[in-house]
A and B are shown apart, each in its own frame.
Chain A
């Protein structure tokens, strides 16, 4: 039951003089004779933070949490996001002392166990990708992209080459061009073929001595495996360029095929997608990258190395390292959850997970195809993109209306309006951790919705705490911070 009193803003619940955390009295004497912090540095008053009692804080956040949909509570077929079950066992394991309480400047002798796990994970990610050089350093997938592009740039520079352009298809995630621009490359977008695949002729026309990297998601954002990927990679390599695989969709191909085997030179993993790091309402992620052997000396610092003679794990800087991309080692807490997942499933289990993800997606596709158009293909990998274009033309109902109405049926919405190459896109990724009963119920709800009157859908959602926030006014006059005046 919703409790509107408890979901007032923290600032509206504050009463001066309250306090929850009380620390012990100082057990050391005041010391004089050392450099003193002068009055000019000192705060003049108490911070204007709210003053709350712990029971109120607990009730507040527990009530807020109930306003969310989540994987733990709902089917969440958000395409491209791989909203699979986050195993509870990881949480206890990630709180083991070396994992949770190790300081990044802890002496190596005290964290050999943790380093051994990270070293093992480097090897696992190399095997899964077919690319031997692994860096666990990047903080998230997008940073993995940037890291790999800078790594590639350093390799080109080392060879005395000045390559300036990064190519990607129109269906690419926005992070691809954003990362390429941040890395100082000129971005070249390919329109792509009408069949959803990279248009080889178009690609060929763009390849020249300026081409550094072609970034491609495979399976692509339409849920299709780029059938010509080996040819594409060959074209890039003939032109002296490199192929970057955006690993957002690795959940479709674990143990079936590997980026290194289909021509990729570099890739990133999204640990929070493929390997069940929690989605955490938007993060934290971890974006380890894997690269070919010739790129490995350029990877960021540090990597974990093992000396079998001394039986010793240590941090090393690769020979021609591009340097640091962030402070400290990496998002160890998330990497460790990924490690636990890989250990829990093993090689065969990972493949079975992908098998099941692809089976579930194809089954859902078979159930929705007779009432929603799916412009690209009879079959898909782990996700597919349906289009509400026809419905929009007939009754004015949009992909967004369908998405909102699904919330009333107790399902989170698919990704809408992405990729940009499909009109009124509804991108659905059921993942492997959903039952047949759930898929059937979802398909039935979707079918029902497509037959419901337009007015009902335009007014949806009807059962949630709020309905269709005014985003236009929010953006015209942004209110990003509470203040006592407003």
Chain B
């Protein structure tokens, strides 16, 4: 996916929307910040989350970070192979390292997300 076309949460999740399905991952910037990621816990299929609710976690050797739901939604699918191929998070953050697909309940949530340019600026601060 083209990072320029994605939407972003300030908490470093990216979102790609196709119809009422939002695919979510964590950004290249977040992966760089955490350095070598050693563990990923995935959201639970069938569970619903509100924006800002923690859905899962990523761990590096010396840090841990929550993965937050960027939009309200129910978990349709998770990338079950990802925890065993953590290198994908740095090699292919916007494609093969997608984490979760959510059914979007409230399309207005997307308005609260940032463009690539705004996200990059946010990270610079």
Asked if B86 contacts A476 (CB within 8 A), the reply is yes
A44 interface contact, C-beta 8 A = no
A477 to chain B: closest residue by CB: B38
On chain B, the residues within 8 Å of A472 by CB distance are: 36, 38, 61
- Tell me which residues from 2 to 47 in chain B have a Cβ below 8 Å from any Cβ of chain A: 36, 38-39
A417 interface contact, C-beta 8 A = yes
**Docked pose: A412 CA to B2 CA in angstroms:** 48
Q: How many residues of A contact B (CB 8 A)?
A: 5
B59 interface contact, C-beta 8 A = yes
A388 vs chain B, min Cβ distance (A): 16
A473 to chain B: closest residue by CB: B38
B56-69 to A contact mask, C-beta < 8 Å, 1/0? 00010110000000
On chain B, the residues within 8 Å of A417 by CB distance are: 62
A447-478 to B contact mask, C-beta < 8 Å, 1/0? 00000000000000000000000011001100
Q: How many residues of B contact A (CB 8 A)?
A: 7
A169-209 to B contact mask, C-beta < 8 Å, 1/0? 00000000000000000000000000000000000000000
A104-123 to B contact mask, C-beta < 8 Å, 1/0? 00000000000000000000
Asked if A476 contacts B62 (CB within 8 A), the reply is no
Most buried by A among B61, B62, B86: B61
- Tell me which residues from 402 to 461 in chain A have a Cβ below 8 Å from any Cβ of chain B: 417
On chain B, the residues within 8 Å of A475 by CB distance are: 38-39, 59, 61
B83 to chain A: closest residue by CB: A476
**Docked pose: A417 CA to B63 CA in angstroms:** 12
**Docked pose: A160 CA to B61 CA in angstroms:** 44
**Docked pose: A55 CA to B86 CA in angstroms:** 46
On chain A, the residues within 8 Å of B59 by CB distance are: 475
**Docked pose: A472 CA to B63 CA in angstroms:** 12
Most buried by A among B38, B39, B59, B86: B38
On chain A, the residues within 8 Å of B36 by CB distance are: 472
On chain A, the residues within 8 Å of B38 by CB distance are: 472, 475-476
B56 vs chain A, min Cβ distance (A): 17
**Docked pose: A178 CA to B39 CA in angstroms:** 21
- Tell me which residues from 47 to 94 in chain B have a Cβ below 8 Å from any Cβ of chain A: 59, 61-62, 86
**Docked pose: A417 CA to B62 CA in angstroms:** 10
B101 vs chain A, min Cβ distance (A): 25
B33 vs chain A, min Cβ distance (A): 14
On chain A, the residues within 8 Å of B39 by CB distance are: 475-476
**Docked pose: A476 CA to B38 CA in angstroms:** 5
**Docked pose: A476 CA to B37 CA in angstroms:** 8
B31 vs chain A, min Cβ distance (A): 13
**Docked pose: A151 CA to B59 CA in angstroms:** 34
A418 vs chain B, min Cβ distance (A): 11
**Docked pose: A476 CA to B92 CA in angstroms:** 19
**Docked pose: A189 CA to B62 CA in angstroms:** 20
A417 to chain B: closest residue by CB: B62
On chain A, the residues within 8 Å of B86 by CB distance are: 476
**Docked pose: A298 CA to B36 CA in angstroms:** 46
**Docked pose: A8 CA to B8 CA in angstroms:** 52
On chain A, the residues within 8 Å of B62 by CB distance are: 417
**Docked pose: A475 CA to B36 CA in angstroms:** 10
B63 vs chain A, min Cβ distance (A): 10
**Docked pose: A314 CA to B39 CA in angstroms:** 51
On chain B, the residues within 8 Å of A476 by CB distance are: 38-39, 86
**Docked pose: A476 CA to B61 CA in angstroms:** 9
A128 vs chain B, min Cβ distance (A): 35
A11-44 to B contact mask, C-beta < 8 Å, 1/0? 0000000000000000000000000000000000
On chain B, the residues within 8 Å of A471 by CB distance are: 61
Most buried by A among B36, B39, B86: B36
| Contacts A471-B61, A472-B61, A476-B38 known; 9 new A-B pairs at CB < 8 A | A417-B62, A472-B36, A472-B38, A475-B38, A475-B39, A475-B59, A475-B61, A476-B39, A476-B86
Please give the residue numbers on chain A whose beta carbons come within 8 Å of chain B beta carbons, in ascending order: 417, 471-472, 475-476
| 12 pairs, CB–CB < 8 Å, chain A vs chain B | A417-B62, A471-B61, A472-B36, A472-B38, A472-B61, A475-B38, A475-B39, A475-B59, A475-B61, A476-B38, A476-B39, A476-B86
Please give the residue numbers on chain B whose beta carbons come within 8 Å of chain A beta carbons, in ascending order: 36, 38-39, 59, 61-62, 86
3 pairs of A and B residues whose beta carbons are closest in the complex: A475-B38, A472-B36, A471-B61
